[in-house]
Structure 1
């Protein structure tokens, strides 16, 4: 492997590592340890920072601990478009942490050894050791498969081996050779050629009319058909936004374009939807400063409302950084708009945040929200219809004559920036985006959407190599925001397809890459050794590569290549502790076991005079790393490893499943989720146990116990119909489940009666609302009392059963067969819920969605569902089925598709 010593240094700040590592120095780093190395590679902990007296080899006794946000988001935007390398983060406006208690947000995921994989096993081996062993087995399988793929490709490319000329042992053979014009071709080959020349096939004479046409010629009619179809679609296209049904565009079956960089030929759309203008506060609602109500310019008042309306979000408004940033921006707005005045018009200088009182603003908006919740069904329906009508023109665009859904056509409203994790700019004012800041991208022949009256667009361009429709730059981080097509669009589907195909292509290179980086872990060159160590960590632990940051203007988030001295702690014999702010300013904390050589290397990279603030990989940058990886495979970058590892692992696990004809759908779903869970653990996709998890599990447990009680009652109905069944079935069959004690039964019976009352009352209210909406007279209250008698009768019936210990069969025409069929149905429901409970409990510390949505090839899920007759709806929600239409449809006729 060539050295990178002649390359420019990756970093120049702090203490720089030596360019080479001598064998003596390498040996000196291998400190003897009596502890047995833990199995690797594996995450051994993802929990609170250890404050005990563990043997940390860090060169620095203390390690700064940060608070944490619970859920790490591994979602990425795979695009290279736009004027900036920075990509906007898609944020669901309804996905807010505001109502989550602070104590929950500061908890970290527990140890991986405590992470339950919900499956039966009598193996005494710890979970970490089992998973590490399994991972090594999967990597060995990947190596063998890579060799097989490469051997097959090499064989296909290799020219046919010429057979030796016939031996000159007989005059007859010599004569034949002399008569032949094909001296270098075996006899059989010469005959075949002559037959081909005469129009004779190898298996029969006179059947061929000539040589087969070239493939390029046969493709020509297809190209013409595609062009004709596109032209026809364009001619028949309707106005944007109409709700006509169109035939689905099966892009996965379409011929590949000659120029893949051209994204569209024609593009029409209606621009973006701006948020409503600010509505000033009533005159009696004021911001109060030091006990004095103050008047503000409408722009400053709006900023005050941003803070006042969110007083319920204590995690934000009580955060000192949030307060400081808001107050600084608020003062700037005040200065620009004339400041604050009291009722007499005198200037009021706002100097201290602590003297501001936002309660009147909060109470006003809280009242508005409560009134909004109290709207009638008819009002909500009318408001939704009005909203839909306003949004309809922006929801769709015409892309090469096809109607495609636009993803995020709404311009972000102004407000206070919250950020994620410990973002240094949290609380700053997000300005209102004006048309003058927005660039429109549209086809040359299309009508440019008009900007709001009195405004103009920043620019209009016709870039058919870009997939965005509109773009602007936000004022907080200077990031570019893009209006893109929806997740179910052809463009997004093609991007997903390319991502997973690139990961599939890595299969044939992975063995070589792993072999070479394992070799370079001991390289003399510091640059080579750092690069090899970084690739190891990225491959084994799904670390992001990391990019350079502008510390003054961005959050100090890091990845593998930008790790600093203080982000890595070493513990003998082979445990590495990572603690840093990762993507979206979310704390990444994990303890992992590594190969001993990797442990030694990290010690070398942290060797004095390195200290806090210095880079660990100081002779490596992300761009250098990706450039090196691209030598193995075009387009290969560090992030492809996450997709490959997740998909390949899932593929291997699914292939090893044992499913028979007696396996139920619920059991198949659990088997799939068990594989998904293992992928999430192996790929380090952890999450904090949700605050509501225990309550949800308790509720699920109560549902199971409720079904067991129901089964017990139905069994006793069997005795009511046929008393002899007690002798036939045995007394044990009719015994109460041990989980159900008398106290629980009484509580459950009360619940059943109350539930019945609630259902009846809700149905009554719904019926009355419908009659009112239809202009009919509502039911009187006595109608409700009459209906509630059903609940009263249920209460009496249960009380009687408690006394007599007998249950009367209450079904129509009760028979033994009917009752036994009901018992079986209840058993099936209990089994299904128990599987769900085990599944949910196993998932409490593992983020299955991260891998399933972003990193596991969706075609693996489709193949599993198809192979084992499980409805795809059991794995993909409606949104995901739309997103992965290409995966569902592209292999529907393939029975042997493999990742």
Structure 2
């Protein structure tokens, strides 16, 4: 790095920390004042311990130049991308061999996969939302920081780096295999078994069964809190109002926060400033929820709830607690008096799964295509994600992704156009056929020329890569590589094909590379039209979901058996909705019948 234009010779310990920031200078984090301040404060502490070898005094963040580090990391990325298939294969094999001893453990005589077996590397803490500690230095975790949990009388595993474990315990009442305390927030970090392990599967099943059990008690709970909305005891009335919000709006219960934590709140920790009254019965919620995601909701509420909020706010300052006589612990103890293990979180799981089941039952088109059914599923998933406030910022790559999809759609229309023109070339009567006479939208002369130029460029690149790959394989097998003339001939063929396509522009005629009877061409057009229809639905679905995180609810709040039963009932492959990871996580859900309901 440079400081005020002068090259700084940093010792390895300080250079590593500078590199953490250098790798990020083109990200949004590096534009954040809090992130930069926290990084530089910690960097100065490291420099005090490991000062520059050439005596440069670093005191001002603005004079630091990390560009050379960034350029180095970018060059390394480029080098990695340009590795041959054989090199990538060798590197992966070496990595797998290095990790193999740590990926599994033995539990009650069974071999089980370990989940996060890698300790988080040192780096800069990102945080979520407006976290006050973002940019702080995450220190390297060493064996001396880690407690491991193993069986009695088994050999103690040796750390893979120099050092000795902080502690070795034999506790079979917990499911963690190792833990340590990270230095930024002082939180415990754990190593658990993988999502598909027997223990995790049992835990997930129990969680969703607990939510289903709530069905037996929910009417009584609702009757009781609705009655208590008018209770003369203000503590009872506050608790009833909080339960109304948790039930109807799927709010998290919320916990108290320290000054050095992000200012996020839940139901019980709402302040007066977070809820605004709008007559006659509307409440406007505006606060930062979990992970510093803004919760904004304008909602009409029960008349008594509206009246209660007005009473609770009366005489208080904006920063005062709205529910000053309720806390999460007391609320959960009250819920547990109805049903063992019942908490506010169980309510969220119950309402999310029940809403999802209802939306699927009402919104799935019985005679729709697979894509139409998938869109109905994703719509239901979106509604639940919105209920649970699982929002996300529009991905930076969204517009680029939609642009690629628009190009692909144009490509499908181009294929259809060429097939229509092939029919016209065979028999002019097809020009009057209403199925084929209308030209494709979005395909003017410029669009056709651009599309063909792009296709040609891709084909030329593909031919060159194939030639290179074939020669690499030949060298590996000890065979003679192909002569350059083979590639030149192939490129010449491609150029000739696209010259012919250029001549066809505007003629409404096309000669297929291989002759086909008209019935086969008509059949191909029908298939393309179905493909275009399906792809348009996929584009609509992608656009509709750009600000909603579907994965969180699917993993944590929606009983997976709802999805599996729905897939079986409607003939949708479950692989279209569950990734390989989720299939591994929920093996117990795969055996349900198609008529199973939450």
* TM-score range for the pair, normalised by the shorter chain length: over 0.9
Q: Which has the higher contact order (CA 8 A, sep 6+)?
A: 1
Pairing of 1:228-307 with structure 2 (within 5 A): 287-307=1-21
Pairing of 1:408-419 with structure 2 (within 5 A): 408-419=116-127
- Distance in 2, matches of 1:746 and 1:351, equals 57
Q: Identify the residue that residue 430 of structure 1 maps to in structure 2.
A: 138
Q: Identify the residue that residue 571 of structure 1 maps to in structure 2.
A: 278
Contact 1:564/1:614 (<8 A) preserved: yes
Alpha-carbon deviation of 1:724? 5.0
Contact 1:721/1:815 (<8 A) preserved: no
My pick for the range that moved more, 371-380 or 561-570, is 371-380
Corresponding residue to 1:701 among 383, 386, 406: 406
Corresponding residue to 1:500 among 208, 211, 218: 208
Structure 2 residue 448 is matched with structure 1 residue 745: yes
- Distance in 2, matches of 1:680 and 1:591, equals 17
4+ residue runs of structure 1 moved beyond 6 angstroms? Answer: none
Structure 2 residue 552 is matched with structure 1 residue 846: no
Q: In structure 2, do the counterparts of structure 1 residues 808 and 383 end up closer, same or farther at CA, with 3 Å as the change threshold?
A: closer
- Distance in 2, matches of 1:291 and 1:787, equals 52
Q: In structure 2, do the counterparts of structure 1 residues 826 and 624 end up closer, same or farther at CA, with 3 Å as the change threshold?
A: same
Q: Identify the residue that residue 645 of structure 1 maps to in structure 2.
A: 351
- Distance in 2, matches of 1:816 and 1:841, equals 37
Contact 1:546/1:558 (<8 A) preserved: yes
- Distance in 1, matches of 2:296 and 2:421, equals 55
- SS at structure 1 position matched to 2:505: helix
Structure 2 residue 174 is matched with structure 1 residue 466: yes
Corresponding residue to 1:625 among 327, 331, 334: 331
Cα deviation 1:732-776 (Å, max 9, x = unaligned) = 633313443333233333333333323323322322333344444
Q: Which runs of 5+ in 2 are unaligned?
A: none
Alpha-carbon deviation of 1:505? 0.7
Alpha-carbon deviation of 1:685? 3.4
Pairing of 1:305-324 with structure 2 (within 5 A): 305-313=19-27, 315-324=28-37
TM-score by length of 1: 0.63
Contact 1:577/1:589 (<8 A) preserved: yes
Alpha-carbon deviation of 1:585? 3.1
Q: In structure 2, do the counterparts of structure 1 residues 453 and 423 end up closer, same or farther at CA, with 3 Å as the change threshold?
A: closer
Q: In structure 2, do the counterparts of structure 1 residues 306 and 348 end up closer, same or farther at CA, with 3 Å as the change threshold?
A: same
Q: Identify the residue that residue 816 of structure 1 maps to in structure 2.
A: 518
Pairing of 1:164-563 with structure 2 (within 5 A): 287-313=1-27, 315-337=28-50, 339-342=51-54, 349-452=57-160, 454-551=162-259, 553-563=260-270
Q: Identify the residue that residue 150 of structure 1 maps to in structure 2.
A: none
Alpha-carbon deviation of 1:617? 0.8
Contact 1:645/1:683 (<8 A) preserved: no
Cα deviation 1:612-655 (Å, max 9, x = unaligned) = 32111110100011011111111111111111111111212223
Question: Which protein is richer in helix relative to its size?
Answer: 2
Alpha-carbon deviation of 1:567? 2.4
- Distance in 2, matches of 1:391 and 1:873, equals 28
Alpha-carbon deviation of 1:330? 2.5
- Distance in 1, matches of 2:522 and 2:40, equals 70
Alpha-carbon deviation of 1:441? 0.4
- SS at structure 1 position matched to 2:189: strand
Cα deviation 1:73-131 (Å, max 9, x = unaligned) = xxxxxxxxxxxxxxxxxxxxxxxxxxxxxxxxxxxxxxxxxxxxxxxxxxxxxxxxxxx
Alpha-carbon deviation of 1:368? 3.3
- Distance in 1, matches of 2:503 and 2:56, equals 75
Q: In structure 2, do the counterparts of structure 1 residues 309 and 685 end up closer, same or farther at CA, with 3 Å as the change threshold?
A: closer
Aligned residue pairs total 598
Contact 2:566/2:594 (<8 A) preserved: no
Q: In structure 2, do the counterparts of structure 1 residues 374 and 547 end up closer, same or farther at CA, with 3 Å as the change threshold?
A: same
Contact 2:38/2:133 (<8 A) preserved: yes
Alpha-carbon deviation of 1:439? 0.7
Corresponding residue to 1:872 among 549, 562, 574: 574
Q: Which runs of 5+ in 1 are unaligned?
A: 1-286
Contact 2:251/2:388 (<8 A) preserved: no
- Distance in 1, matches of 2:29 and 2:437, equals 57
Structure 2 residue 306 is matched with structure 1 residue 593: no
Pairing of 1:650-661 with structure 2 (within 5 A): 650-657=356-363, 659-660=365-366
Cα deviation 1:30-63 (Å, max 9, x = unaligned) = xxxxxxxxxxxxxxxxxxxxxxxxxxxxxxxxxx
My pick for the range that moved more, 578-587 or 823-832, is 578-587
- SS at structure 1 position matched to 2:344: coil
- Distance in 2, matches of 1:709 and 1:491, equals 53
Contact 1:324/1:427 (<8 A) preserved: yes
Corresponding residue to 2:497 among 794, 802, 805: 794
Cα deviation 1:685-729 (Å, max 9, x = unaligned) = 3344334434433432333333233223223323444455556xx
Corresponding residue to 1:734 among 437, 459, 463: 437
Alpha-carbon deviation of 1:657? 4.7
Q: Identify the residue that residue 690 of structure 1 maps to in structure 2.
A: 395
TM-score by length of 2: 0.93
Cα deviation 1:787-838 (Å, max 9, x = unaligned) = 12332232232233225432234434x2232222212211221221122122
- Distance in 2, matches of 1:623 and 1:459, equals 32
Q: Identify the residue that residue 779 of structure 1 maps to in structure 2.
A: 482
Q: Identify the residue that residue 836 of structure 1 maps to in structure 2.
A: 538
Q: In structure 2, do the counterparts of structure 1 residues 681 and 300 end up closer, same or farther at CA, with 3 Å as the change threshold?
A: closer
Cα deviation 1:586-634 (Å, max 9, x = unaligned) = 33333333233222222222112x1132111110100011011111111
Q: In structure 2, do the counterparts of structure 1 residues 359 and 622 end up closer, same or farther at CA, with 3 Å as the change threshold?
A: same
Alpha-carbon deviation of 1:485? 0.8
Structure 2 residue 347 is matched with structure 1 residue 634: no
- SS at structure 1 position matched to 2:552: helix
Alpha-carbon deviation of 1:397? 0.9
Q: In structure 2, do the counterparts of structure 1 residues 529 and 741 end up closer, same or farther at CA, with 3 Å as the change threshold?
A: same
- CA RMSD, aligned part only? 2.4
- SS at structure 2 position matched to 1:656: helix
Contact 1:712/1:734 (<8 A) preserved: no
Q: In structure 2, do the counterparts of structure 1 residues 350 and 742 end up closer, same or farther at CA, with 3 Å as the change threshold?
A: closer
Contact 1:541/1:684 (<8 A) preserved: no
- Distance in 2, matches of 1:689 and 1:879, equals 24
Contact 2:430/2:436 (<8 A) preserved: no
- SS at structure 2 position matched to 1:733: coil
Q: In structure 2, do the counterparts of structure 1 residues 576 and 669 end up closer, same or farther at CA, with 3 Å as the change threshold?
A: same
My pick for the range that moved more, 591-600 or 476-485, is 591-600
- SS at structure 1 position matched to 2:265: coil
Q: In structure 2, do the counterparts of structure 1 residues 691 and 570 end up closer, same or farther at CA, with 3 Å as the change threshold?
A: farther
Corresponding residue to 2:374 among 669, 694, 697: 669
Contact 1:690/1:844 (<8 A) preserved: yes
Contact 1:720/1:809 (<8 A) preserved: no
Q: In structure 2, do the counterparts of structure 1 residues 576 and 297 end up closer, same or farther at CA, with 3 Å as the change threshold?
A: same
Alpha-carbon deviation of 1:858? 0.6
- Distance in 2, matches of 1:852 and 1:713, equals 42
Contact 1:693/1:844 (<8 A) preserved: yes
- Distance in 2, matches of 1:468 and 1:852, equals 24
- Distance in 2, matches of 1:303 and 1:680, equals 38
- Distance in 2, matches of 1:355 and 1:711, equals 59
Q: Identify the residue that residue 596 of structure 2 maps to in structure 1.
A: 897
